[in-house]
Amino acid sequence: MLDLKFIRENVEQVKKGIQAKNAHVDLDELLNLDKKRRDMIQKADNLKAVRNKASDEIAQLKKNKLDAYSVIERMKNVSAEIKNLDDSLRRVESEIYEIQIRIPNIPHASVPIGPDESHNQLVREWGEKKLFGFEPKPHWELGDLHGILDLDRAARLSGSNFTAFKGAGARLVRGLINFMIDLHVQKHGYEEVWVPFVVRPEIMFGTSQLPKMEEDMYKVEKDDLYLIPTAEVPVTNLHREEILNAEQLPIRYVAYTPCFRREAGSYGADTRGLMRVHQFDKVEMVQLVRPEDSYQALETLVGHAEDVLKLLKLPYRVLSLASGDISFGAAKCYDLEVWASGLNRWLEVSSCSNYEGFQARRMNLRFRREEGGKTEFIHTLNGSGLALPRTIIAIMENYQLDDGRIEVPEVLRDEVGLDIIG
Q: How many CB atoms lie within 10 A of CB 218?
A: 15
SS3 382: strand
CB 121 within 8 A of CB 112: yes
Going by C-beta distance under 8 Å and a sequence separation of 6 or more, which residues neighbour residue 271?
A: 160, 161
305: amino acid identity, one letter: A
- Work out the angle between the directed axes of helices 168-186 and 139-146 (0-180°, nearest 10): 120
Active-site residue, selected from the candidate residues 327, 341, 350, 351:
351
Give the active site residue among 81, 141, 348, 407: 348
Taken as a whole, the chain contains a residue count of 422
CB environment 254-276: b (16+ within 10 A), e (fewer): bbbbebbbbeeeeeeeeeebbbb
Give the DSSP letter of residue 195: -
Question: Active-site residue among 261, 284, 337, 341?
Answer: 261
> Which residue among the candidates 356, 384, 390, 415 is catalytic per the annotation?
390
Helix/strand/coil for 78: helix
- Other Cβ atoms closer than 10 A to 85: 17
Pairing of strands 219-220, 332-340: unpaired
- 388, 152 contact by CB (below 8 A): no
Residue 276 annotated in active site: yes
Question: Which of 252, 276, 362, 366 is labelled catalytic?
Answer: 276
Cis peptide before 321 (omega within 30 of 0): no
Asked if residues 273 and 138 have their Cβ atoms less than 8 Å apart, the reply is yes
348 as an active site residue: the answer is: yes
Considering only CA atoms, give the Rg of the chain.
27
Residue 32: other Cβ atoms inside 10 A: 12
Are 205 and 98 in contact, with CB atoms under 8 Å apart? no
Do the beta carbons of residue 138 and residue 343 sit within 8 Å?
Answer: yes
Which residues are CB-neighbours of 225 under 8 A, at least 6 positions away? 198, 199, 200, 219
Q: Is 261 a catalytic residue?
A: yes
List beta partners, residue 304.
none
Catalytic amino acids? 261, 276, 348, 351, 390
